[in-house]
Amino acid sequence: MRQLLDADQLHVHKQRNYVHSLLLIGGIGLILAITTTLLWGVYGIVISTGVIALLVLLAPSIPPAAVMRLYRARKVPRGDDQLSRILDELSQRADLLARPDLYLIPSATLNAFATGTPRHAAIGITEGLLRRLSMREVAGVLAHEVSHIHNNDLWVMNLADIMTRFVQSLSYMALALVVLNLFGLLTGETPFSWWVILLLYFAPALSSLLQLGLSRAREFDADFEAAQLTGDPLGLVAALGRLERYQGSFWEDLVYPVPTRRIPQPSLLRTHPPTEERIARLRELSGEPSLPPMVVVEEPLVSMLGYGPIAMRPRYRWPGLWY
């Protein structure tokens, strides 16, 4: 992918996000090493490393089409429509191994996400987002998801998720140690330190916080690369601002809930950074692009799904998905 923004800014940003992500992954790994050492000694680190490696290598990957079926998404045939042309150009600019499949989700919520691998990925975008954003803003959103695929963020987050879940499974042993200590109190001895038990019990919470921090770091990186792909940082700024206005805040939903404004919880999607901070970082970008910005023509958009507002209301589906 050719650099579209100032080279010095690109270097500083990439270095900052790389170090940030490395520290967060290292923090999760440190928590895992400490918990396994407390349980099995030094050999615990070797055991946990082997288990994590096997899970990463052998764990079956869910096909993108199967994920999209959970949301009742409809695949957009590759053709000469606006969305296909934009995604084709973004894929070429990002030098993707394969152009992602595009799916349209029958939901009034404003959302988009990517799933799969760089060789076989898919991007889902809701009908509500298409109806409320301009095509220039949609291009910025698609560029953000293409950046996730290009940077292999899906694999990185999957690694962090596996490590966190492994730490969580080890925390159940803390409950067993509590039972043993309670029996030990009858004999006047506690075989295990209460501090060790507390650390094992709260380790998953610490690991989850680091995982959310990693997610936010990858979001910032995807924003920056999306600006490179489109050559139009202000297009993504406009999209983020419009999304923030439509979705509102958590407190607004508590006072006056509007079903289509915010993606309800629980959700499969990760927590994103504050929109204000994302916009501020994008506005800091300077320098002339080496390639012209993408030419996005605002053509009349005809719904590809034909669903009305009632059919697109957010609904809960197993196992904790909202669409």
Enumerate the active-site residues. Answer: 145
> What CA–CA distance (Å, rounded) separates 204 from 171?
7
CA dihedral (134, 140, 146, 148) in degrees, to 10, reads -130
Q: Which amino acid is at 108?
A: A
Q: For residue 14, give both structure tokens.
A: 């990439």
